[in-house]
Amino acid sequence: MNNPFARFIVRWFVCGLGLFIAASILGPDRIAYGDSFSVIVIAGLVLAIINTIIKPFVIILALPALLFSLGFFMIIINAAMVLLASQFYGGLDVNNFGAALVAGIVIGLLNYLVTALLEER
């Protein structure tokens, strides 16, 4: 996909779907969104914007930890981005870091799968 707008739409979809799946796995006591589709859509948009703007700077700052952990520190960065999205958008309530960690893992796996499917060969 060469179109940046299309890539952002896909990222938005993956973030929203990942948040929905993580909330379904963990239940409303860990990740609450009020059973509203619009909250998931807006939270996915907020998370996609955060991943587009803030996450690259965090990755650069965390480069030594990423290299030392052979990339596993990216899971922690994904969880931090989910918590940050929860702070920016009040409709999404992520109760603790463990719930954000699960959401970050789910979103990362979905992102990997979608990228593998849509990648041009």
Instruction: Give the β-pairing of 93-94 and 31-32.
Output: antiparallel
**CB < 8 Å & 24+ apart, contacts of 37-40:** 39/91, 39/92, 40/16
pLDDT tens string for the chain (121 positions)?
678 898 899 999 999 999 999 999 998 899 999 888 999 999 999 999 999 999 999 999 999 999 999 999 999 999 999 999 999 999 999 999 999 999 999 999 999 999 888 876 5
Q: Quote the pLDDT of residue 34.
A: 87
Structure tokens at 107: 């979103």
End-to-end Cα, the chain, rounded Å: 11
pTM for the model: 0.91
